[in-house]
Amino acid sequence: MDLVGPLPKSAWGHEHILVIMDYATRYPEAIPLRKATTKAIAQELFLLFSRVGIPSQILTDQGTPFMSRMMAEVCRLLKVQQLRTTVYHPQTDGLVERFNQTLKQMLRRVAAEDRRDWDQMLPYVLFGIREIPQASTGFTPLELLFGRQPRGLLDVAREAWEQQPAVHRITIEHVREMRERIERVMPIVREHLVKAQQAQQRHYNRVAQPREFQRGDHVLVLVPTAACKFLATWQGPYAVTEKVGPVTYRVRQPGRRREDQLYHINLLKRRVGTGPQLSAYASSTPVVVDMDPQLSAAQKSELQHLVSQFPDVFSPQPGRTHVLEHDVRTPPGTIVRQRPYRVP
């Protein structure tokens, strides 16, 4: 389960999409929301569970709506185990992340004429996605969820072309056929899923190197910078407090809002050397001033003493000042252009 947004505000006031994916059948659900609050998410979850049943586990990221006390209480009342992905590692819920990209691309195309109608086009996009057979299962999500392939738009067009009458079946016979079809399909689905997972595992293990940390190890954490989320830096060192899973560790980060945070092992690296950190020290050398030879010895001594007394002002290193200002005036109506160049 994940949230997409904020998106352009629709005519109905929707700005977010609650995305839910069933890992067994690959059946997607996308629900437009006006506000991405825990209360709104909980209401939509109850409506969804009334149609398809209550799951045993829910996997979400560590976003605020999913980490709230209300969401924890909802999961406790419904006996649902709440699983969380590690921060800055969306690959943990890669199935939903890939679907989010596909959903946004399709909405961008179908709502190109009027961006405020994207929520009205959402059911049509979902219907098309649910009718597509999945490579990992070999069947469509609709067929795996309902035990049969529902009548779609292509079926309607074909029936209109062929003028085939609708087939009426007895309810008991229809239920029996659906149950038999599900019993035949599920072993095939499991076989396809195992093959797909094995192929993904072989592809990942080609370059993966096994690593492991122990409690008390000092590590560096790769996290986005405060200025730009697209730039990440290694920060730390921090201490590992617990190994939660095979590739998940709890790291103590003093001074943060959440001191104990879960991280995927791909975002951690061992700090080489655990000795005390030493700050860089540069020896202060006197500034050499190129003086006019016409100056007397007393004038040179006085000037050298002045430079040594204010080294921050008379420094050979280039700096920046906020005292002086300089305006570059160009002719009116003329656009100044310059080719881009690399900034050192």
Q: Calculate mean pLDDT across residues 330-337.
A: 76
Between strands 57-60 and 81-84, the pairing is parallel
Q: Is 302 helix (H, G, I), strand (E, B) or coil?
A: helix
Q: For residue 326, what pLDDT band results from cuts at 50, 70 and 90?
A: confident
3-state DSSP call for residue 106?
Answer: helix
Q: Is the pLDDT of residue 344 over 60?
A: no
Q: Which residue has the higher pLDDT, 50 or 327?
A: 50
Mean pLDDT (whole number) for 151-167: 63
* Cβ-Cβ contacts under 8 Å for 79 (sequence gap 6 or more): 54, 56
Tokens of 44: 């939509």
Most confident option among 12-16, 82-86, 269-273, 306-310: 12-16
Contact (Cβ atoms closer than 8 angstroms) between residue 121 and residue 173: no
Q: Which two tokens stand for residue 245?
A: 């899973």
Q: Is 130 exposed, middle or buried (0-12, 13-18, 19+ CB in 10 A)?
A: buried
Task: Kindly state the tokens that stand for 310.
Answer: 């204010």
Rounded CA separation 140/26 (Å)? 8
Segment 108-135 shows an average pLDDT of: 78
pLDDT one-digit tens code per residue, 19-36: 998 888 888 899 999 988
Give the model's pLDDT for residue 32.
Answer: 92
Three-point CA angle 16, 17, 18, nearest 5°:
125
Q: Are 84 and 77 in contact (CB under 8 A)?
A: no
131, exposed or middle or buried, with CB in 10 Å at 0-12, 13-18, 19+? Answer: middle
pTM assigned to the model: 0.52
Asked whether 29 and 126 are in contact (CB, 8 A), the reply is yes
> In this predicted model, which residue has the larger pLDDT, 197 or 125?
125
